[in-house]
Amino acid sequence: MSRSRLPRRVLHHRFLSILPVILRHARVYFRHVKCWHTKEDRIAEVRALCWKWFRRLAEQGKDARQFPTVLADFAARAVHCGRRVYGQLKARDVMSERAQQMHGFGVQCLPSSTAAGYEHLYGKPQGQREQDAYEERLQDNTVTPPDEQAAFRIDFPAWRCGYDLRKRRIMDALALGHRTKDVARQFKMSAGRVSQLRRQFLTEWRRFVGDTAVPH
């Protein structure tokens, strides 16, 4: 039966009848993923792909309720290889899970300020290395005068500490140049909310340093 003869609500009802099988298979397939957020992202992608393919099969007159496990397995394998509902993850983007899996590397945020305490530097094996990496980000700055750089190194940590941990992490991701949609995906929020926070951070930073251009 073609899709034109089946209302969307009917297709959705039929898909819901096999959804528990799909979710159970996805959770088993990605049971070795340690990060809870990453695991849930992949399970959600499996569910979305299955729904997309379920409708496509219905258009061809096929009822995927007859093989839900096969459908779920194909979707899980596709997600594992970088397939997403909106397209394929890039193989040459260092922020892409696909690229990280293919080449066996990972990424992490650099520290957001040089105001690192003794415990941060020496309480973990990579503390000093992270600090050195942050210094490398600043050493090539030939635009900002030295006095303003020094003021920034003092003011920014003090201003940043006024936010909770989650907002500081969002702030760090934006400071590293990550795209709005990538930050939104990472922190499970809308792109509009990320843009709103970006403007809020800018306004409050300017107010903190006494920028008279800040609108009231």
Distance CA 153, CA 136 (A): 14
Q: What is the predicted pLDDT for the residue at 7?
A: 83
The mean per-residue pLDDT over the stretch 45-72 comes to 91
Q: What is the predicted pLDDT for the residue at 143?
A: 59
| Residue in the block written with tokens 């969307």 | 8
pLDDT higher than threshold 80 for residue 119: no
Distance CA 131, CA 140 (A): 16
Residue 12 CA: distances (Å) to CA of 3, 30, 51, 104, 162: 12, 25, 8, 39, 46
Comparing CA positions, the residue from 41, 52, 51, 39 lying closest to residue 15 is: 51
Q: Is 87 helix (H, G, I), strand (E, B) or coil?
A: strand
For the chain, the structural domain boundaries read 3-103, 162-216
Element (H, E) at 84: strand 83-84
pLDDT higher than threshold 80 for residue 57: yes
The mean per-residue pLDDT over the stretch 48-65 comes to 90
Q: Give 196 or 98, the one with higher predicted confidence.
A: 196
| CA angle 130–132–137, rounded 5-degree value | 100
Comparing CA positions, the residue from 166, 142, 151 lying closest to residue 113 is: 151
Q: What is the mean pLDDT of the chain?
A: 75
In this structure, are residues 201 and 174 in contact, taking their beta carbons and an 8 Å threshold?
Answer: yes
148-191 per-position pLDDT tens digit: 667 777 777 878 888 888 888 898 888 877 888 899 999 999 98
Residue 83 CA: distances (Å) to CA of 59, 79, 86, 142, 187: 22, 5, 8, 42, 21
9-39 per-position pLDDT tens digit: 899 999 999 999 999 999 999 998 888 888 9
Place 114 in a pLDDT band, splitting at 50, 70 and 90: very low
